[in-house]
Amino acid sequence: MHIREAVESRYSCRAFLPKPVSEKIVREILQSAARAPSGGNLQPWVAHVLAGKRLEELRALIRPRLNELPHAEGGEYQVYPVPLKEPYKARRFKVGELLYDSIDIPREDRSGRYKQFARNFEFFGAPVGIFFSLDRTMGPPQWQDLGMHIQSVLLLARGYGLHTCAQEAWTYWHKTVSRFLDLPPELMLFCGVALGYADEAAPINQWRAPRADVTEFATFQGFD
Ligand SMILES: Cc1cc2nc3c(=O)[nH]c(=O)nc-3n(C[C@H](O)[C@H](O)[C@H](O)COP(=O)(O)O)c2cc1C
């Protein structure tokens, strides 16, 4: 698959088929994604991969506690700046609108929205869940290194016909997840990534998040 096709066919998949993904494939993806650059080659990413019985165990731990949402154990980091300024606020609003419209949940239906939000903690039915964390001493440069690694995972997954969804929502269960994974206290959970084969027919997978035009975020100087 051409890199451009991988980039353009990636989207946040929120419904997966129950078809398993082999450990071999996930290992290959993570190993290749370790080619991601990082300042000073620190490679600050740490991944914990769950599948099968272990993934079910985690789901079962959280399922009876969904009434604690939306904030559950409280985020370990601020997911969005407060207040969120424009144009970012409008972009966030738009993507929420598109997502809930695709599954016919109106704005006023708070319980419907919570139910969909709670699907995050099923990894949207994916057969594999990956948790990414990094050492608490790391700062913004290393957080972005981790982001480069994660994006590499998302794109490499496309080469195997797989889809993904990065999930910051897992920060709201950081205590439970950290305990479950036996994360040493120096590691901070950043996000989960759902990985599997997309349920292409699911309405929630039918829309695409819009992007600003290149003229809105880039300027070009010095070209002939
Ligand atoms: C680090 C990160 C965390 C995210 N967390 C969540 C999440 O918790 N739940 C979710 O449904 N989508 C999550 N997303 C998906 C974004 O909403 C999505 O990337 C954005 O709306 C653009 O859509 P696209 O990925 O389909 O192109 C996350 C994306 C990133 C990069």
Question: Domains plus CATH for the chain?
Answer: 3-210 (3.40.109.10)
Tally Cβ neighbours within 10 Å of residue 107.
Answer: 11
- Under the banding of pLDDT at 50, 70 and 90, the label for residue 153 is very high
Q: What percent of the chain has pLDDT over 70?
A: 100
Mean pLDDT confidence for 18-24: 98
Q: Is the CB of 188 under 6 A from ligand 1?
A: no
For ligand 1, atom 9, name the residue with the nearest CA: 167
Q: Cα-atom radius of gyration of the chain, to the nearest Å?
A: 18
Q: Which atom of ligand 1 is nearest to the CA of 14?
A: 11
Q: With cut-offs at 50, 70 and 90, classify the pLDDT of residue 178.
A: very high
Q: Average pLDDT of 15-28?
A: 98
What pLDDT, on the 0 to 100 scale, is given for residue 76?
95
Q: What is the average pLDDT value for the chain, to the nearest integer?
A: 97
Assign 125 a pLDDT band (cuts: 50, 70, 90).
very high
CB of 39 within 8 A of CB of 141?
yes
User: Per mean pLDDT, which range of 64-78, 180-194, 197-211 is the poorest?
Assistant: 64-78
* Residue 211 alpha carbon to ligand 1 centre in Å: 13
- Summarised one tens digit per residue, pLDDT across range 52-106 is 999 999 999 999 999 998 899 999 999 999 999 999 999 999 999 999 999 999 9
* Contact in structure between 137 and 186 (CB atoms under 8 Å): yes
Nearest alpha carbon, ligand 1 atom 27: 11
> What's the order of all strands across the beta sheet hosting 163-167?
46-51, 128-135, 187-196, 163-167
pLDDT at residue 36, as a whole number: 98
Residue bearing the CA closest to ligand 1, atom 20? 209
Question: Is residue 193 within 6 Å of ligand 1 at its C-beta?
Answer: no
Q: Would you say the CB of residue 167 lies under 6 angstroms from ligand 1?
A: yes
pTM of the model: 0.98
Q: What is the pLDDT of residue 70?
A: 87
Q: What is the percent of the chain where pLDDT is above 90?
A: 98
Selection from 78, 123, 116, 122 nearest residue 97 by Cα: 116
Q: Determine the average pLDDT of the residues in 182-194.
A: 98
Q: Is the CB of 12 under 6 A from ligand 1?
A: yes
